[in-house]
């Protein structure tokens, strides 16, 4: 039985989530304070974290930053803050998903199952790829440009590896959304893909406005040559 940890300062919302997750066959644990929640996560080692942003002691973003120093468990941010900037902040700190309040409990459970399923997939075989002045080590999950390692988020790395593994083929935004985020256009926003590609280009391209590594085919998708 998978254990879902709920770190949410609104006890009524937390209780509703717990009730429905237990009915769906999950084990649950809940905390309402950022610092206390982080301490419990270190001890209890849940399979997935539902994380609110507005928390006492430590904000959700601070919890996530500290959590990623010792754990790569899937994290779904739950927040009423729905600006693009907030979403990008969460994803840049290596959150796996971002759900805005109010949300459908059925959608939340679907996203939980998707993220747990993705986490259980086997790691990639050891492989090193060279694309232009980039060297990508799939075993170490590192990306170097002209020999110097660059820092990219988990999602950005997965997008890059998806495009590299399909080198020469145009990968649609729908396929990227499904393979990287784990859900289709019904559950996700295709604009999320464009935003992530833009952030990735800013890190791997010499001139992001004139990309030479991650190219696009208008109306079709993205590709690496």
Asked if residue 87 and residue 177 are part of one domain, the reply reads no
- Looking at the structure, do residues 161 and 89 belong to the same domain, yes or no? no
Please check whether residues 113 and 147 belong to one and the same domain. no
Structure tokens at 34: 């950022």
| Domain C-terminal end among 63, 92, 119 | 119
Kindly give the residue spans of alpha helices, DSSP state H, lying in 81-145.
Answer: 84-92, 105-119
pTM higher than 0.85: no
Q: Which residue has the higher pLDDT, 222 or 119?
A: 222
Greater pLDDT, 90 or 174: 174
Please tell me which residue, 139 or 220, carries the higher pLDDT value. Answer: 220
The domain in which residue 211 lies consists of: 128-224
Contacts for 145 with CB less than 8 Å, ≥ 6 apart: 133, 134, 204
Statement to judge: residues 112 and 138 lie in one domain: no
Q: Are 115 and 189 in the same domain?
A: no
CA dihedral 27, 33, 35, 39 (to 10 degrees): -20
CATH classification at residue 180: 1.10.10.10
C-alpha 210/C-alpha 186 separation (Å) is 32
Do 67 and 47 lie in one domain? The reply is yes
Span of 15-19, 46-50, 145-149, 211-215 with lowest mean pLDDT: 145-149
Q: What is the CATH number of the domain that holds 31?
A: 3.40.50.2300
């Amino acid at each position: 039985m998978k254990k879902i940890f709920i770190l949410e300062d609104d006890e009524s919302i937390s209780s509703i989530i717990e009730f429905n997750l237990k009915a769906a066959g999950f084990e649950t644990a809940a905390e309402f304070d950022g610092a206390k929640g982080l301490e419990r996560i270190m001890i209890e080692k849940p399979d997935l974290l539902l994380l609110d942003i507005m928390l006492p002691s430590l904000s959700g973003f601070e919890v996530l930053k500290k959590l990623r120093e010792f754990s790569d468990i899937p994290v779904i941010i739950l927040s009423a803050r729905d600006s693009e900037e907030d979403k990008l902040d969460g994803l840049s700190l290596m959150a796996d998903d971002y759900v805005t309040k109010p949300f459908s409990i059925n959608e939340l459970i679907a996203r939980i199952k998707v993220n747990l399923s993705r986490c259980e997939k086997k790691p990639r075989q050891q492989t090193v790829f060279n694309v232009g002045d980039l060297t990508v080590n799939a075993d170490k999950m590192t990306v170097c440009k002209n020999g110097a390692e660059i820092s990219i988020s988990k999602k950005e790395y997965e997008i890059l590896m998806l495009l590299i593994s399909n080198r020469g083929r145009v990968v649609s935004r729908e396929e990227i959304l499904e393979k990287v985020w784990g859900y289709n256009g019904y559950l996700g926003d295709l604009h999320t893909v464009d935003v992530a590609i833009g952030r990735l280009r800013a890190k791997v391209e010499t001139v992001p406005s004139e990309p030479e590594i991650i190219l696009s085919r208008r109306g079709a998708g993205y590709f690496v040559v």
